[in-house]
Structure 1
Amino acid sequence: MQPHRANTPPQGWNSWDSYGTTVTEAEVLANARFMAEHMADTGWDTVVVDAQWFEPTARAHGYNDDAPLLFDGHGFLQPVPARFPSAADGSGLTGLATAVHDLGLRLGLHLMRGIARRAVAAALPVPGTPWTTADIADTTSTCTWNGDNYGLDHSHPGAQVWLDAMIDHVVGWGVDFLKVDDMLAPYHADAVEALALAVRRAEAKHGRPVTISLSPGTHLSLARLDHLRAHADMWRVSDDLWDRWEDVVDQLGRAARWAPHAGSAGWPDADMLPLGRIGLRAERGEPRDALLGTDERRTLLTLWCLARSPLMMGGDLPTTDAATVADLTHRGLIDVLHRSAGGRELLREGDTVVWAAGTPDGTVRWVALFNTADEARRVAVPAGAAGLIGHPDTLVDVWSDEKVVTLPATAASGHDVVLDLEVPAHGVRLLRHETHAMDLS
């Protein structure tokens, strides 16, 4: 199992965009094997089983009302053996976790905030206490888009006891990453704190780190930043993102707000990458290759890496086209994700958006010229306005690996060389500049 990589954003695969609530053990393992063989050497190391792994009647395109969730005598969730056959012996997801770890990867698992309604109705014992699951639930606290659970009543001492035991239950299987939903919209500060405490206790018991990912981030405010950093590793800053150009454009603004705060203290998450082969049995849409074109895909990936968002691939890896996989593992792009700092928006004028970032030692600078227009256009930006100081004559286009020539300094440009480049419709030119620390302001 690879170590927790706190200094770089998480990179992984998530089952949601391809399989919705219906993913199987075989499909998870197929994606894990593909990742280990084709992607791990560029930092991809986690496979996440998303929602409803405990729901025997789960179906594509949504959730079932009053779903008959599987749980044990304490209300702790259990995988559906028909979809996860290694769990048929009662060992939960231990077999799947072992297989994923043997590939050098980490296993992630989705949970909903709270406790199953049916477990509450059954009044099951909370381990080591005189209370039952009926005592610790807040039946007034529910999720608007999934009716499986009630919230926990965190003013009741039994709630933390039960949550500690539930998290220990799944981490004990070998789970390394928890995506916990219905946490941020609205913002449930008590649930966030209780989850973090339970995870810290499980980490201490089992001797390994567990990544905490919170979602969804609809209308998430920067006022929550300190609280999020104290209790989570990554947090969504938007609602679900799909393979629509307008979704990508919307993330430009959100990324500009959150990117300055990305770092080892926590990673603002621009959501999964709806790329490659998606919609096989998903919540939205039919089976398809992602509707984003090549330039739109590279715009998305460039923005995510400059903003240092986690990269969680949503497409089914074994059936995703080779060009998309090549972009996901492009070493020049991943270098931005792993090594950059200070990624931020520098300029926004009409359809032109300019971002920049650099290495902490000042030896490398990246500049991205985004064109959100529906047609290709020339974008001319003074190098200084793009965050480049001096005479950057060693610019390289990261995506094409071709040298970029700058225009000479003129009086009109304020004695500054000019980046004057053709940028495709909905596209980006990502430039890399080798420099020296003394060149940077």
Structure 2
Amino acid sequence: MNARRIAQVVLGIFLGAAACGNSWAQKAEGLANTPQMGWNSWNKFACNIDEHLIRETADAMVKTGLKDAGYQYVNIDDCWQGQRDADGNIQPDPKRFPSGMKALADYVHAKGLKLGIYSDAGATTCDGRPGSRGHEYQDARTYARWGIDYVKYDWCNTPDMNAKAAYTTMRDAIAQSGRPMLFSMCEWGMSKPWEWAGQVAHSWRTTPDIYNCFDCEFSPGLSTGLGVLRILDRQAGLRKFAGPGHWNDMDMLEVGNGMSEDEDRAQLSIWAMMASPLILGNDLRSMSESTRRILTNPGVIAVDQDRLGVEALRVLADGPLEIYAKPLDGGQWALMFLNRSTQAIDVHHDWKAQVLTDDLSKRSVDFKQTVYRWSDLWTKKTGDTSTTLQARLAPHSVLMLLLTGPAKS
């Protein structure tokens, strides 16, 4: 058979498979029905990682109650890679991970947790380690043999590459690996992934990397880091693209990394209201009790994990005060009052002045007709919507309410 005939046969096989729908070419179903929860090594440790850190983090996730609160993924970011062997198989750095990834996965699994790993669509990662370009199927099979449960896939060193094609290739590679793995795209929103990635990944980053501040932007060289409020502002118009199994990812949490407690509570609240994955970025082994309490707040986590899977909408912007509403399963609502400023502000919210309406979920509440009970998810105070809400918001803080009802009609 000549070369031309071989090419025709190969093309025919490819087109035939495409016409049949390529049943294997899909992301794993049943993962991330609610936004994924876990921990990632990058924010706190960058390249200073090894197997001892990962084991100790898994231990801490169990000991501190984070596992019981819903966090389950222990994710290794960049710099775990060594070299490829003679057959092209990726190997972990022998000095940092001398026991190998399979042993590490077994350890994490024995804790009732899951192990995640990192790669890049380019030939090299952001830190210059071997990426997966040209080795996608090989790497996915390797991850499956190791027992990996989560793949974060970055976008460094990808000149002239098409994001949709590159991420679809890795999706298909994972699908053929024989092991379901949550697929997390880290493409920084450059190609508007919310418009096409719903069938490709379980989550996709919507912005550049987070920077450890509440309201700032940091641009060293070619990279950009955004503070909490800058990331929130870039979510405008994206809520219609997210839902169970496909989430807008606002990047990792900086809770416990140096912001104030009010700012830490605000970030977790914002991420929960926006149904973003909750991926911790602090040192779980040495966090303070106040940080632990913030990260394990059951009411705030429940808002993030609500099975309806609808992102919040902004219903009011009045200077530094913004109000966000999130419809929840069972007819409930979550409301967040956000103080964007560095000065305290007073809230006087007349529930009856505005009908709460969400066209996306087709939900509406007229507080003139229906009274809801509310509970503050941080202070545990309670009340109802029959009287004006009075509160004082500290700088860079939130008031987060769960509305249940009706209390009376």
Please give the alpha-carbon distance, in whole angstroms, between the structure 1 residues aligned to 2:333 and 2:165: 41
Return 5+ residue gaps in structure 1 as ranges: 55-68, 88-92, 117-142, 153-158, 277-289, 409-417
Q: TM-score, normalised by structure 2?
A: 0.80
Shift of 1:213: 0.6
- The answer to whether structure 1 residue 253 and structure 2 residue 233 are counterparts is yes
Please give the alpha-carbon distance, in whole angstroms, between the structure 2 residues aligned to 1:101 and 1:402: 39
Please give the alpha-carbon distance, in whole angstroms, between the structure 2 residues aligned to 1:405 and 1:374: 29
Question: Could you tell me which residue of structure 2 aligns to residue 83 of structure 1?
Answer: 96
Amino acid aligned to 1:44:
Y
- The answer to whether structure 1 residue 350 and structure 2 residue 319 are counterparts is yes
Please give the alpha-carbon distance, in whole angstroms, between the structure 1 residues aligned to 2:382 and 2:407: 21
Deviations 1:212-247 (A, max 9, x none): 0111415452xx324201110011111111221111
Mapped contact 2:255–2:267 kept (Cα < 8 A): no
Amino acid aligned to 2:374:
L
Question: Could you tell me which residue of structure 1 aligns to residue 68 of structure 2?
Answer: 41
Shift of 1:419: 2.8
Question: Could you tell me which residue of structure 2 aligns to residue 107 of structure 1?
Answer: 115
Deviations 1:101-149 (A, max 9, x none): 1111110001111335xxxxxxxxxxxxxxxxxxxxxxxxxx7x54445
Question: Could you tell me which residue of structure 1 aligns to residue 377 of structure 2?
Answer: 398
- The answer to whether structure 1 residue 70 and structure 2 residue 43 are counterparts is no
Q: Equivalences for 1:18-167 in 2 at 5 Å?
A: 18-37=44-63, 38-54=65-81, 69-87=82-100, 93-115=101-123, 146-148=127-129, 152=133, 159=134, 162-167=135-140
* Residues 1:94 and 1:437: Cα distance change in structure 2 (over 3 Å): farther
- The answer to whether structure 1 residue 6 and structure 2 residue 21 are counterparts is no
Amino acid aligned to 1:402:
K
- The answer to whether structure 1 residue 274 and structure 2 residue 254 are counterparts is yes
Question: Could you tell me which residue of structure 1 aligns to residue 12 of structure 2?
Answer: none
Indicate the RMSD between aligned Cα atoms, in angstroms.
Answer: 2.5
Question: Could you tell me which residue of structure 2 aligns to residue 431 of structure 1?
Answer: 401
Mapped contact 1:346–1:386 kept (Cα < 8 A): no
* Residues 1:150 and 1:425: Cα distance change in structure 2 (over 3 Å): closer
Please give the alpha-carbon distance, in whole angstroms, between the structure 1 residues aligned to 2:78 and 2:94: 15
Amino acid aligned to 1:358:
P
Mapped contact 1:86–1:95 kept (Cα < 8 A): yes
> Paired residues, what number?
354
Question: Could you tell me which residue of structure 1 aligns to residue 26 of structure 2?
Answer: none
Q: Equivalences for 1:377-388 in 2 at 5 Å?
A: 377-383=345-351, 385=354, 387=356
- The answer to whether structure 1 residue 242 and structure 2 residue 220 are counterparts is no
Shift of 1:361: 2.6
Please give the alpha-carbon distance, in whole angstroms, between the structure 1 residues aligned to 2:194 and 2:30: 22
Question: Could you tell me which residue of structure 2 aligns to residue 422 of structure 1?
Answer: 392
Shift of 1:406: 5.3
Deviations 1:65-118 (A, max 9, x none): xxxx4111132221112211212xxxxx100000001111110001111335xx
Mapped contact 2:120–2:132 kept (Cα < 8 A): no
* Percent sequence identity over aligned pairs: 26
* Residues 1:403 and 1:198: Cα distance change in structure 2 (over 3 Å): same
Return 5+ residue gaps in structure 2 as ranges: 1-28, 216-226, 357-364
Q: Equivalences for 1:365-380 in 2 at 5 Å?
A: 365-380=333-348
- The answer to whether structure 1 residue 15 and structure 2 residue 41 are counterparts is yes
- The answer to whether structure 1 residue 310 and structure 2 residue 277 are counterparts is yes
Matched position secondary structure for 2:78: coil
Shift of 1:392: 3.6
